[in-house]
């Protein structure tokens, strides 16, 4: 069975590298450090799930999520925000994200969240 594909956005290259290392065994991981054309990038990569720093520069996570959720070609892709600020979890859900993960990452919880959202999106 082919690995599910994750697209991860974060402006911190160290975070991207750690996430790639930690998730590559189970997933095909594609990383981006900035958002230039979120719809185009997502259509090009065709991920099963998107992980995104809520404070991603250029467009901002909330605008990126709004763009993706309002486009019929990408609206079904689950999006999970992550941030060190745990107080914004409610805001993350209200802005259209399907999940929230707090930094520092508990990789067991991250993997459980990803598995659940990918399975739910395929049903």
Instruction: List, for residues 17-49, the tens digit of each pLDDT value.
Output: 999 999 999 999 999 988 878 889 999 999 999
pLDDT bucket at 104, cuts 50 / 70 / 90: confident
Residue 103 has pLDDT above 90, yes or no: no
In this prediction, residues 66-76 reach a mean pLDDT of 94
Look at the domain 4-121 and name its fold. Answer: Rossmann fold (3.40.50)
Q: What is the DSSP string of 24-69?
A: TTTEEEEEESS-S-HHHHHHHH--SEEEEETT-TTT-HHHHHHHHH
The percent of residues above 70 in pLDDT, for the chain, comes to 99
> Residue 90 and residue 26: Cα distance in Å, rounded?
28
Domain boundaries, the chain: 4-121
Q: Are 83 and 103 in contact (CB under 8 A)?
A: yes
CA distance 82 to 92: 9
Q: Which helix (H) or strand (E) holds 19?
A: helix 13-23
List the structure tokens of 48.
């099963």
Q: Which helix (H) or strand (E) holds 22?
A: helix 13-23
């Amino acid at each position: 069975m082919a690995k599910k594909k994750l697209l991860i956005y974060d402006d911190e290259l160290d975070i991207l590298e750690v996430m790639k290392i930690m998730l590559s065994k189970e997933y095909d991981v594609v990383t981006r450090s900035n958002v230039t054309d979120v719809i185009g990038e997502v259509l090009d990569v065709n991920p099963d799930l998107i992980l995104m720093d809520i404070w991603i520069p250029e467009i901002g996570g909330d605008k990126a999520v709004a763009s993706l959720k309002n486009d019929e070609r990408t609206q079904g892709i689950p999006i999970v925000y992550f941030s060190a600020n745990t107080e914004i979890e409610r805001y993350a859900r209200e802005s259209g994200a399907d999940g929230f993960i707090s930094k520092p990452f508990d990789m067991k919880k991250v993997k459980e969240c990803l598995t659940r959202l990918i399975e739910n999106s395929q049903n």
